[in-house]
Structures are given as C-alpha cells and as structure tokens.
Structure 1
Amino acid sequence: MTRESSASPLIFGGDASSPRAALPVLPPLALYIHIPWCVRKCPYCDFNSHTASPVLPEEEYVDALLADLDQDLHAVYGRELSSIFFGGGTPSLFSADSLGRLLKGVEQRIPFASDIEITLEANPGTFEQDKFVAYRKLGINRLSIGIQSFQQEKLQALGRIHNGDEAVRAAGMARQAGFDNFNLDLMHGLPNQSLDDALADLRTAIALKPTHLSWYQLTLEPNTVFWNQPPTLPEDDTLWDIQEAGQALLAEHGYAQYEVSAYALLGRPARHNLNYWSFGDFIGIGAGAHGKLSHPDGRIVRTWKTRLPKDYLNPAKSFRAGEKALGNDEMPFEFLMNALRLTEGVESRLYPERTGMTLESLAEGRREAEQSGLLQVEPSRLVATVRGQLFLNDLLQKFLT
C-alpha cells in the first residue's frame, strides 16, 4: 500500500517561526492506536467511533496502522516507547492474532522500554476469557474496562450493550486472565441518578478491587444523540453532593485523586495518561488519531489523521489530515491545559524543559491566577488551588494571549 506523506501543508500557529530554545531533553514517547469500531454507538459518545459491520477488516486495518506509523518514524528515530494505549471504539473487538501482529510490527520499528505499559480498552459485552488470556500473553499488561454503571436502568439509558452482572464478571475475568493492573471507567450524574444510586455504583466498583478508577460526570456533547435529545439529568445540588460524597468514599478506600477524574491506588496511576498531562510526546495512528511530537530544535507539532475508516483504508487517500506547529503565544495554554488537570500539578522546571520557553513567559498569567486564588503561590510548582481545579477553564483563561 502506498500513500502520500501528507494530506495538507504544515500550518504554523501564532508566532511559531520566532526563536525558541532547543529542548535539552526530549520528553517520554508514547503511542496511541485508535480502533474506531463499536458494537453500537452510545448516545452520549462524541469519540470517533462507528458501528461495526459483521466482519471487521482487521488484516487491512493492521496493515494501514503499520504503514501510518512508518510515516511518523522519521520524527522519533532513536527513541523508545514508554507506553502504548489501544483506544476506540472498542479495541477488544479485534482478535489477539491481529493485535499480536500489530504489536510485533510496532516493536520492529520502535524499541519498547523494558517496563512498557500497554493498555487495552475493553467493554464487558466483548469479554471472552480465552481472548483476554491471549491478550495478556501478547504483553498487554493493563486493561481499561468501560463499565459506566452497574444498574440496568442506567445502562439502558446510556445505550450500553452489557448488564451489571456482566460488568462484575468482566473484572473477575480480567484478573483470572492475569491482569493485576486494570481500570474501571465509571460515570456519574446519569439520567435520573440519585446520590444513593451513584454511591452504590462506586461501592460495587471498589469491591472489585481495581488498581485505578476513572470516575467522571456525564456531559452532553455536541454531535451526539443526547445533545439533540437531552435526558433528564440530576440537579446541580445533587451533582455537587455526588461529587463530594464520592471523592470521600474513594479516599476512604485508598484511591487517591491525582487528576480531575482519575483515582488510583498507591503507585498505580496510568502512565500513558500522565505522559499526556505532563506534555509528553505521543504518536497517534489510526482513523482520527491525534499526535504531538517535540523536535530537538524546539518545534512542537500536533498531527491528526483521516477520520473516517473508509477513507483511512483507501490507498488513494492520505493517512494524515493535517498538522500544526505550536506558536510561542499558544504554548502557555497548551502546556497548562494538561498540567493543571493534575491535582499536584507539575514542577515549574518542566515548563521550559518541555516547551523551550522561559518561565518568565508565564509571569503575567501566573500573577493574575494567584491573585484570583486559582493558582497556588508556589514558585517550584505549577499547581491549581482546590478552587482552581473546580474552575479550570477560568484559570486557563489567564494564560490566553
């Protein structure tokens, strides 16, 4: 299969061509692999996912993914992968044979770190014990299981294909397959959900003893069924009660909040996501995947791939839909919209290391944010206050130029 190297010219953002310091050390490198098919599209989902046909083009798609990766290799020569994340869609629709061929092809192109984290997203409705044993043997060592709720009424409202019993069994099957590190994805603020409903879901999840919980509020996103046909969601006071009581329950059971919606047992935060939030690098391959790569000369380039699977698999079309070099004026916001999601923020030194910009370039916004009580007055760290975490958009506005 042959492809053009780019679908569009490089777009420079802001003052991208003005001088910027060379990066002393390149950040860790990750790989995101997007598999865009689902059994059924959920009414709240705004991800690039598409209802699967009875037979998926697994072989053709793996070929395309490796060809796509080949076109990004020139930008990462000599580096190793610290993590890989299979997202979707529902990556667990693919066979172990297909994922094995893909992982082998990736490792032949980019060396793996000795302690690489490899995460696969999976939904309870696609769990098969033999399949997940085979996934574990491939070197996939972390699962992220999309539960959302354990209550049948809520699952039906969300358009999920599994029931509560299947969700519970999925966690047990993951452990039996050899996964001692797995995340459960859980939502709150669901249609007609009470405080007791939300806490019952959390207690069920905690009882399954995952190493990590993603617990976040349902939001209505444009271009979704829920956006056009909004369900009845809990009142703001109920949402606040759920948030407070849920965080207390998670802390009581040893799940420390380290990001806006991420909670983990000691030593078990998601390495791949930490890399995103600390402005690390990642290659994105697959339909609609996004990437961000730093270059030693200080250039930082975001890329995005062709969105529709039929176009991505079409040899006459390019994998890459576009790319953009970040400008100096964009850098404070780009860095901080990720870093300030972390409850402990990041060390201040990381900003010049990852951006090639000086800390002085943050000075005005930093001063305004501190005076507004949104950013902690802590010279060695960039970290939001509790209020800043709650009003993160207001905080980030201080760094827009």
Structure 2
Amino acid sequence: MNSSLNFNRAATVLNLGSNTISLSALPPLALYIHFPWCERKCPYCDFNSHQIKDRVSGKSGFDEQRYIKALIADLETELPHIWGRQVHSIFIGGGTPSLLSPKGMDELLSSVRARVNLEPDAEITMEANPGSIEAGKFSAFAKCGINRVSIGVQSFQDEQLKALGRIHNGDEAKRAIHIALEHFKSVNLDLMYGLPHQSLEAAKSDVQTALMFQTPHLSLYNLTLEPNTYFASFPPKLPSEDEIDAIFEQNLELLTQAGYQRYEVSAYAKKDQECKHNLNYWRFGDYIGIGAGAHGKISFPNKITRQVRERHPDTYMQAMEQKGNALIETQEIAAKDLPFEFMLNVLRLSAGVDTNTFSERTGLPLHTISKALGQATKKGLLDENPSKLKASDQGLRYLNNLQELFLS
C-alpha cells in the first residue's frame, strides 16, 4: 500500500449534527426538464412516465400548451434561488420528450433562454424513442437549439424488443439513428444487456450493430427488476450473474477496441464526447429540476437543498395553476448526510475527482471521511492516489459495497 496515503483516522470528529457548512464557491448549474408521457409504459421502467393513451376514455394525447405553461411558471419560481448564476446544460428527459411538437419545443426553449443566463454553447439534450423519430420533426428540433439526442434503442433484435415491451423494431431503431446523425451534433445510444434469455452472442450482436453507427457516446445498462414495475411482479427469466459478468466483460472489450472510454459505470464516450449534463450530476453539481416529479439540488453558501415536485402530470399542472408552486418537498441536506451523497455520485466516475472537490462541493473538511477512505483503500476498493477520490477497478465492480462504507 502507498505509504503516502496516510488518512488520519484519529482526526477530530466534527459535530455533524449541526447543519453548518461553508462553501467557498457554488458548483456549476444545470437545468433538467421532465416530460412525463410515453406512448406505452415499458414493463421494466420505474421512471415517472405515464401512458399517453387514457385507459378509461381511450383518448390519446396530452395538453401540450398547458404543460409548457406550467413548466415555465415552475422555472420562474426557481429564479430567485439562482440569480447571477449561469446554466451550463439542459437535459429534457422523460418519458418521451420527442413527442413534443417542434412548435412546443421552440416555445419551451425560447422561454428558458429568456429567463436564465444560458451558456452560449450549452449542451442541450433531448431523449427520444425510435418510434417517435421523424426526419422533419428532428430537423425542426435541431433548429430550436437541441444539439444532442439520446435514443432509447435498448436492443436491435425484434424478439428482445418485444420482450421489453418496446414499440419499435430493429429496423426502426436503425432508421432513427440515421435520422438523428443527420441533424444533431452529438448522438447517444442507450442499450440494455442481461435481457430475458439473452445469450453472450446476442449481446455481442447488439453492441456490434451499435458500433457500426460510430456515434460519439454509448450508454449500456444492465436490466434490473425495479420495485413497482410489471417485471418486478412478473419477473422474466434473466441470465445468471456469471453470464451477465461475461456479457459485461465482452461489451467492455468491444467498446475499448472501438475507441470508447468507460468514463462512468454505464457510460462510454469517444475522446471529449462525455455528456456534460450527466458529468455535472456525478461531480455533485447543482441542477434545477422542473416538471412532473422532477428533483432538484441547489447549493447556497451555507446550505445545500433538495426539492421534489408533484409526480402525476395532472396534479403537477393543477398545483402550478392553483398555487403557483408544485413542490411537495424542500429539504436541507443534513451535514451528516453530505459525505454519502457526494461519494454516491463521484465514485461512479472512472477518473474520480480531485480530493479537494470534496470540500468544495460539501463545505466539509476531507478528514470527515478519513475513516471510510482508509477502510476502502485497505479493502482494495479505492485507488491509492492521495490526490484523487477514485474507485479502483475492483471498486467499480463492487460499487455498492464501496459506497456503503460512506453511509456512516
């Protein structure tokens, strides 16, 4: 073990029951906008998304103008908390934001620009599903200012897509990628592995197909059975842990050979093509969250707060219209919880962060976590570089075990 990594386990214990912290500078600020509708709810999805077709009336659609009006009013409630701060990125997630009309998207982004200090070359990402991608519509989205799109492909194999409850097939996914590459500066493909009855060869085929498009960014997620989903109640037959490990190692090798770097647990990018918005999350940056069920994190010189909004779109819009506020929770993060929240995020990054980032983002001295750092290093889960907070290769593999060390 590197002898220079001598964390002082006998350091004075802070009174973390007090919420007094002191930030030397505020972190970068981003904006997240949630669009809560999908054409169909996928059986594995635990995100706040609602089927666009009403099951009772059979009517399909949503009140776009009403929702956009609520979003802008929601943003205005946050402006007093961020005066003078610049917004570095926007992420429009869902749900399926590409269901918005070009006119609606233009109105939304124009309204945002009129209210916040948006960085001139800000990354503006929109999530899209292949079944909602049209060439004319995507050309118009690009003119609105969208410069990055993230496509929920999940798989290129029709049998797997059917098992996942997706509304598109493999050919439609490929067509959607071609359209996106014609119109956007940056394109990400979301893929899933560990799918029902998925073989090593089938998983390899999905990654190889994705690599043919040479998009600058790929996200690979292991399918997990999340609570309150259809799959949780009626679980499909998934590959064993050993089979999933083999698929992951295969994926990593294929992507590395193709010039992608794994910069986060589930994210791979070519040089300088990382998602700036998500990097801000993982580096414990700030973000305004507007829309149904959106979460936000805002720092102040002496405190850090989190917010949660009404989850159902109807309840959210009613709250904005009737009360001018859709918050259901605003909470100051207790000083004792900040170390875990910080490490929960930064340890996902392959490169980690500089050690001094801990104090910059939490307002607490590093020796607050000296005991956990020592334990993690001794277990081989943390890199021994004393100037970095960085998971080792083993730490990334057993990330939950590493993160749990900082719970105390």
The verdict on a shared fold, with TM-score over 0.5 as the criterion, is yes
Q: Which residue of 2 aligns with 1:74?
A: 80
Q: Which residue of 2 aligns with 1:47?
A: 47
Residue pairs, 1:27-176, within 5 angstroms: 27-53=27-53, 54-176=60-182
1:353 to 360, 381, 384: 360
Given that residues 67 and 317 in structure 2 are in contact (C-alpha distance below 8 angstroms), is that contact kept between their aligned partners in structure 1? Answer: yes
Could you tell me how far apart the structure 1 residues matched to 2:107 and 2:215 are?
29
Could you tell me how far apart the structure 1 residues matched to 2:362 and 2:162 are?
45
What is the CA RMSD across the aligned residues, in angstroms? Answer: 1.1
Residue pairs, 1:280-319, within 5 angstroms: 280-296=285-301, 298-314=302-318, 315-316=321-322, 318-319=325-326
1:180 deviates by 2.8
1:251 to 252, 256, 263: 256
1:251 deviates by 0.3
Given that residues 374 and 388 in structure 1 are in contact (C-alpha distance below 8 angstroms), is that contact kept between their aligned partners in structure 2? Answer: yes
Could you tell me how far apart the structure 1 residues matched to 2:21 and 2:27 are?
17
Deviations 1:104-156 (A, max 9, x none): 11111101102200000000000110000000001110000000000000000
Could you tell me how far apart the structure 1 residues matched to 2:188 and 2:81 are?
31
Q: Which residue of 2 aligns with 1:385?
A: 392
Amino acid at match of 1:218: L
Given that residues 124 and 148 in structure 2 are in contact (C-alpha distance below 8 angstroms), is that contact kept between their aligned partners in structure 1? Answer: yes
Given that residues 20 and 303 in structure 2 are in contact (C-alpha distance below 8 angstroms), is that contact kept between their aligned partners in structure 1? Answer: no
Could you tell me how far apart the structure 1 residues matched to 2:17 and 2:118 are?
32
Given that residues 43 and 164 in structure 2 are in contact (C-alpha distance below 8 angstroms), is that contact kept between their aligned partners in structure 1? Answer: yes
Amino acid at match of 2:231: F
Deviations 1:351-391 (A, max 9, x none): 11111110111111101111111111211100011111111
Amino acid at match of 1:75: H
Could you tell me how far apart the structure 2 residues matched to 1:108 and 1:280 are?
23
Could you tell me how far apart the structure 2 residues matched to 1:372 and 1:323 are?
37
Could you tell me how far apart the structure 2 residues matched to 1:165 and 1:107 are?
37
1:55 deviates by 2.4
Given that residues 34 and 291 in structure 2 are in contact (C-alpha distance below 8 angstroms), is that contact kept between their aligned partners in structure 1? Answer: yes
Could you tell me how far apart the structure 2 residues matched to 1:132 and 1:324 are?
38
Could you tell me how far apart the structure 1 residues matched to 2:30 and 2:369 are?
27
Q: Which residue of 2 aligns with 1:8?
A: none
Where does structure 1 differ by over 6 angstroms across 4 or more consecutive aligned residues?
Answer: none
Q: Tell me, which stretches of 5 or more residues in structure 2 are unaligned?
A: 1-14, 54-59
Amino acid at match of 2:399: L
Could you tell me how far apart the structure 2 residues matched to 1:130 and 1:387 are?
47
1:363 to 347, 357, 370: 370
2:233 is aligned with 1:228: yes
Amino acid at match of 2:181: R
Could you tell me how far apart the structure 2 residues matched to 1:390 and 1:64 are?
42
Q: Which residue of 2 aligns with 1:198?
A: 203
SS at match of 2:188: strand
1:338 deviates by 0.3
Could you tell me how far apart the structure 2 residues matched to 1:16 and 1:221 are?
33
Aligned positions, number: 385
Q: 1:16 to 1:142 in 2, by over 3 A?
A: farther
Question: Could you tell me the TM-score, scaled by structure 2's length?
Answer: 0.93
Q: Which residue of 2 aligns with 1:25?
A: 25
2:351 is aligned with 1:344: yes
